[in-house]
Amino acid sequence: MSQHAIFWPMIAHVALVYAVYVLIGMRRKKAVETGSARVSQFRENRDEPAESLFVRNNLANQFELPVLFHAACLALFVTGGAGPIAVWLAWAFVLSRYAHAWVHVTSNRIRFRQPMFTLGFLALGAMWVLLALTLWNAG
């Protein structure tokens, strides 16, 4: 497996972020059309309507832990540590983000969302451990 395979999970996560952006736009447009929100409410994001609140929260969430994911992927690639284990962990993280996002923007049931977050959290932690081991073995 080529080290370049580490970029596919990154691309998959970017696709998720774009999908969430599209979804928030659709939900906000519908809120305005149904009269539950005014366009001016979105200027400062103070009063998010119920229809799009979970989506807005999920979008913010895509720029928290995933920032560490993208940094880990790039660092693993640069250091030569983007082997099969790293790629497997990266896919585990991204698939957990898809599942987490699905629950977050639909039912938002913590009972289902929290295990998906935990899976991604642990996969990402393992990626950072793998990076540390790669650096340790290189030096």
Query: 9-26, pLDDT tens digit by residue?
Result: 999 999 999 999 999 999
Question: Which is higher by pLDDT, 139 or 114?
Answer: 114
Considering the entire predicted model, what is its pTM? Answer: 0.95
Encoded tokens for 131: 């990076």
User: Closest Cα to residue 121, out of 92, 98, 99?
Assistant: 92
What per-residue confidence (pLDDT) applies to 139?
A: 78
Q: Is 80 left (phi over 0), alpha (psi -120 to 50) or beta?
A: left
The CATH number of residue 25's host domain is 1.20.120.550
The count of structural domains within the chain is 1
Residue 14 belongs to domain spanning = 3-137
Q: Is the pLDDT of residue 50 over 90?
A: no
What per-residue confidence (pLDDT) applies to 47?
A: 85
What per-residue confidence (pLDDT) applies to 44?
A: 80
